[in-house]
Amino acid sequence: MAPKNPDVVQLTPLEALGIAIKAEIEAAQTYERLANLVKNRALKAKAHFLQEEELKHRALLEKAYARQFPDVGLVLPGCWPGRGSTYAIDKTCVQPVSEWQQAGTSSRRNAA
């Protein structure tokens, strides 16, 4: 039997889905920030497109989470997985996807 690698974090499916959802949230936020920073219209449009793609990914993962863990509330990791690093994040990160999409659309209208 091979010795366990102390650098490898063993995740449950619940933890893995939470990390994936958090990654999609952070990616969408990054693209939104990028869109708000750039002046080039083509780059701004691409950043908004990519933000929407991340929101779609988030929605798919949240549906999978709800199907697999219907009795477990969604608690996302506060930082990259590690020993003792998981905790509930602030409410802005756990809004329903529809609210996020509306917020993204209104911020684009204001930026135009």
Local confidence band at 9 (pLDDT 50, 70, 90 cut-offs): confident
Q: How far apart are CA 27 and CA 50, in angstroms?
A: 9
Whose tokens are 């990791």? That residue is 77
| Region for 84 from its dihedrals, namely left if φ exceeds 0, alpha if ψ lies in -120 to 50, beta otherwise | left
Phi, psi (5° rounding) for residue 43?
Answer: -65, -40
Phi, psi (5° rounding) for residue 93?
Answer: -90, -10
Domains, in order of start, for the chain: 13-78+88-111 (1.20.1260.10)
The string of pLDDT tens digits covering residues 16-67 is 899 999 999 999 999 999 999 999 999 999 999 999 999 999 999 999 999 9
At 77 the pLDDT is: 77
